[in-house]
Amino acid sequence: MSVDVGTELPSQSFPVTRASLVRYAGASGDFNPIHWNERFAREVGLPNVIAHGMFTMAEAVRVVTDWLGDPGRLEAYSVRFTRPVPVPDDDAGTVIEVSGKVTELLDDARAKVMLTATHEGQKILGNAVAIVRLP
Amino acid sequence: MSVDVGTELPSQSFPVTRASLVRYAGASGDFNPIHWNERFAREVGLPNVIAHGMFTMAEAVRVVTDWLGDPGRLEAYSVRFTRPVPVPDDDAGTVIEVSGKVTELLDDARAKVMLTATHEGQKILGNAVAIVRLP
């Protein structure tokens, strides 16, 4: 794998549906109704049901782990949740778009990757950084 | 425990909310949207989101296991799902009412219990029979 500062990872789009969130609620144990109950979400001032931040974070990093071919090569990962992802009530749901770029080569064949995740053209994760061991 | 044909088990009421069903979806792996998506449920002709039949079945038998004090004493259990339980979108949800009666004493200190489970006055389980080992 030839990697340099500036190397771009293959971008990916990830669908997010209400069904994704019901599944993620069970998988994560986070049953906050803002993630599955539109009435409740609107009552507390949200525009709609919103995706779990950790779900969005997990989806986004697939760009990195798919690129590496091995999730074990992800050494560290951090993001700021800057904007929620509202999920409409239909089968198509919505989509998040994720791209990544190598911004620094580190010691021990490691690299720093910055991710950009957007929803409808707006950034949803801030300062999304993955530290990886290169193959 | 003094048990005879005709002995009545303490009745219980069990709340069922949308949150119960989202949790049960994750616990059971049954993510059919009729159990959590009102739009979808109505589109397929149901009056509302409905409870998983297995959830209702499991709740109902608590009348038996609470009475026995030990779920391990439940040897067999069968029901017919005769009527769905629609669950409204509010925090109170709805309620199922369950009573039970010993209808037969069997060999080896076992007994047959018939359960009656109703929702808004109508039976939701048919031929609900538990075979138990008495303490």
Q: What pLDDT sits at residue B125? A: 97
Q: What pLDDT sits at residue B91? A: 85
Interface check for A18 against chain B (CB to CB < 8 A): the answer is yes
The ipTM estimated for the assembled molecules is: 0.81
Q: How sure is the predictor about A58, in pLDDT bands with cuts at 50, 70 and 90?
A: very high
The reply to whether residue A22 touches residue B39, judged by beta carbons under 8 angstroms, is no
Q: How sure is the predictor about A2, in pLDDT bands with cuts at 50, 70 and 90?
A: confident
| Residue B1 clears pLDDT 80, i.e. is over it | no
Interface check for A25 against chain B (CB to CB < 8 A): the answer is yes
Q: What pLDDT sits at residue A91? A: 86
Interface check for B22 against chain A (CB to CB < 8 A): the answer is yes
Nearest beta carbon to residue B22 from set A22, A39, A89: A22
Q: What is the CATH number assigned to the segment(s) A8-133?
A: 3.10.129.10
Give B70 to chain A, closest Cα distance, Å.
Answer: 27
Class of domain B8-16+52-133: alpha beta
Which residue of B37, B39, B44, B49 is the best one to mutate when testing the A interface, meaning the one whose CB has the most A CBs within 10 A? B37
Delimit the domains of chain B by residue range.
8-16+52-133
Contact A73, A133 (CB under 8 A): yes
| Residue A31 clears pLDDT 90, i.e. is over it | yes
Spatial separation of the C-alpha atoms in residues A31 and B22, rounded to whole Å: 8
The per-residue pLDDT of chain B, averaged, comes to: 97
| Residue A105 clears pLDDT 90, i.e. is over it | yes
How many residues are listed for chain B in this entry? 135
Instruction: Determine what percent of chain A is predicted with pLDDT higher than 70.
Output: 100
What number of other Cβ atoms are within 10 A of residue B134's Cβ? 15
Instruction: Determine what percent of chain A is predicted with pLDDT higher than 90.
Output: 96
Strand partners, B77: B130
Of all helices (H) and strands (E), which one includes residue B25?
A: helix B18-28
| Residue B2 clears pLDDT 90, i.e. is over it | no
| Residue B65 clears pLDDT 80, i.e. is over it | yes
Q: How far is CA A134 from CA A24, A59, A113, A127, B94, in A?
A: 29, 20, 11, 21, 54
Q: What pLDDT sits at residue A1? A: 77
| Residue A89 clears pLDDT 90, i.e. is over it | yes
Q: What pLDDT sits at residue B52? A: 97
Helices (H), A1-135: 18-28, 38-43, 53-60, 62-68
| Residue B19 clears pLDDT 80, i.e. is over it | yes
Spatial separation of the C-alpha atoms in residues B134 and B109, rounded to whole Å: 6
Contact A26, B22 (CB under 8 A): yes
Q: How far is CA B85 from CA A49, A73, B130, B133, in A?
A: 25, 48, 21, 30
Spatial separation of the C-alpha atoms in residues B48 and A112, rounded to whole Å: 49
Mean pLDDT of B82-107: 96
| Residue A53 clears pLDDT 80, i.e. is over it | yes
| Residue A124 clears pLDDT 90, i.e. is over it | yes
